[in-house]
Amino acid sequence: MRRFWVGGAFVLLTASAHAQGTVPAAASPAPASQQVVAPVQPARADTAARAGSAWTFVRLVKLPNPGAASLDRRGALYVADADNNLRQYSAEGLLLNTYAPTQPGHVAQVEAWNVSSTLVFNDDRQQLILLDRFLAVITEVRLADYLDGTVRAATLAPDNRIWLLDESDLVLREFDPANLRLVKNTPLDLIIGRSRPDFRFLRHYQNNVYLVDRTTGVYVFDNLGNYRKKLPFAGLSTVGFRGDELYYFDAGAFHFFHLYSLAERRVALPAGVVPGEVRQVLVGESYAYIFTAQGVAVYQL
């Protein structure tokens, strides 16, 4: 049992998770598709409900059909709107800046955690755009000039290099935008085995790279691109990170998975939020953001 600080009071939460077995050890020699995972205890529904009801609604950011989104270390929120402009909001949901690209392109992923630079990946144009903290353009990179395959997901590393998921060749690549060259390549065919992956999201966090496959789970690599293990969270399109926990939204609740103790806890949605309308969630240190077709609901934790 763990204590979780919500809305000015401690709420007791029991460990929970999907009954999918143990997370394999790092550097396990077994193919990811054959690794077995250990059971964990389900969370008590009454505990999760109390946690969700303690959140305080702040405001609704009216933004029809919001797209890819990210948080930076200071808590600022970055959201692509329906026209693929990038909007920057304060932690409380107040508009700060807007980036409007000179050429239209679908924003598949945004990564703003580094603060000093924000990555925008346009999958239809196969283009990377780096912006400064005021959303002014630093550089633009046309990926077709440096690799032959199609990139499905991209994310920014702490050293300002960029991880790319080359879906055509099933290779995880690291690209150096300063010198305009590929510096690392990790083939994925032996790792994924005979499964038919559906890669959706890529994120570098705490010296690891997390690759979300909606079909089988979350593949974990170290900061050199070496495969470590797979987390058994299938059916996801994205994940987030808060402290030492990975989180995601599933089955009407927030799930928090501790990256080192492997414990999992569950927190219910705030009262009045319809689970079927939730498209995405982001959780910062003090605020949480729930994305629906109408916009982004901001809650204080």
pLDDT digits (tens, 9 = 90+) for 125-170: 999 999 999 999 999 999 999 999 999 999 999 999 999 999 999 9
Sign of CA dihedral 33, 252, 39, 2: positive
**Dmax (CA) of the chain:** 55
- Say how far apart CA 88 and CA 61 lie, in whole Å: 12
47: enclosing H helix or E strand:
helix 45-53
- Say how far apart CA 87 and CA 115 lie, in whole Å: 15
Strand ranges (DSSP E) for 90-198? Answer: 95-99, 107-111, 118-122, 127-131, 137-142, 151-156, 162-166, 171-176, 181-187
Tell me, what amino acid is at 65?
N
- The β-bridge partners of 205 are 208
Sign of CA dihedral 36, 40, 45, 49: negative
**Within 13 A of 168's CA, how many CA atoms are on the CB side?**
7
Residue 53 confidence class, pLDDT cut points 50, 70, 90 = low
Which pLDDT does position 194 carry in this prediction? 86
3-class DSSP assignment, residue 98: strand
The yes-or-no verdict on residue 23 having pLDDT over 60 is: no
- State both tokens at 282: 């982001």
Q: What is the pTM of this model?
A: 0.83
3-class DSSP assignment, residue 227: strand
Spatial neighbors of 237 by CB under 8 A, at least 6 apart, are 200, 201, 212, 214
- Say how far apart CA 112 and CA 87 lie, in whole Å: 12
Q: What is the average pLDDT across 199-213?
A: 97
Comparing 33 with 141, the larger pLDDT belongs to 141
Q: What is the average pLDDT across 286-291?
A: 97
Q: What is the average pLDDT across 103-118?
A: 93
Average pLDDT, the chain: 86
DSSP class of 166: E
- Nearest alpha-carbon partner for 203 in 97, 113, 275: 113
Which pLDDT does position 7 carry in this prediction? 43
The C-alpha angle 104, 107, 110, rounded to 5 degrees, equals 135
